[in-house]
Amino acid sequence: MITVTPEAAEQIKLSAKQSKAEGLPLRIAAQRQDDGSLHYALGFAEEEHTEDLSFRSEGIDIVVSPMSIDLLSNTVIDFVELDSGEKNFVFKNPNDPNYRPPSN
């Protein structure tokens, strides 16, 4: 399961509108790098493949290839303000060796 926060969903919808991609699902991919870390990619899927796995979270349709699903299992996609003051998408992914869950 992949989850999108309300903040991320709002930004995804805005991005879709700005890029004339409304109605297209969001494709999410992950690839393990040589050092073990994960590299992520987001984009709107103009094509879906029969083997794609589909999810829906916060009104966002998501597609993931079978090659990425194990790396993305239980990931939460958020849109947050970084230390620099800039806002960006972040992947809260327990499968990523660099992920540190927030402390309560």
| Residue 38 falls inside a structural domain | yes
Q: State the total domains in the chain.
A: 1
| Residue 11 falls inside a structural domain | yes
pLDDT at residue 103, rounded to an integer = 66
Residues of the chain with pLDDT under 70: 102-104
pLDDT at residue 1, rounded to an integer = 86
The CATH code of the domain that includes 10 is 2.60.300.12
| Residue 83 falls inside a structural domain | yes
**pTM, whole model, 2 decimals?**
0.87
| Residue 85 falls inside a structural domain | yes
DSSP string for 49-99: -TT-EEEEETTEEEEE-HHHHHHHTT-EEEEEE-TTS-EEEEEE-TTSTT-
| Residue 67 falls inside a structural domain | yes
| Residue 9 falls inside a structural domain | yes
pLDDT at residue 104, rounded to an integer = 57
| Residue 103 falls inside a structural domain | no
pLDDT at residue 100, rounded to an integer = 80
Residue 24: domain span: 3-92
pLDDT at residue 36, rounded to an integer = 87
pLDDT at residue 40, rounded to an integer = 94
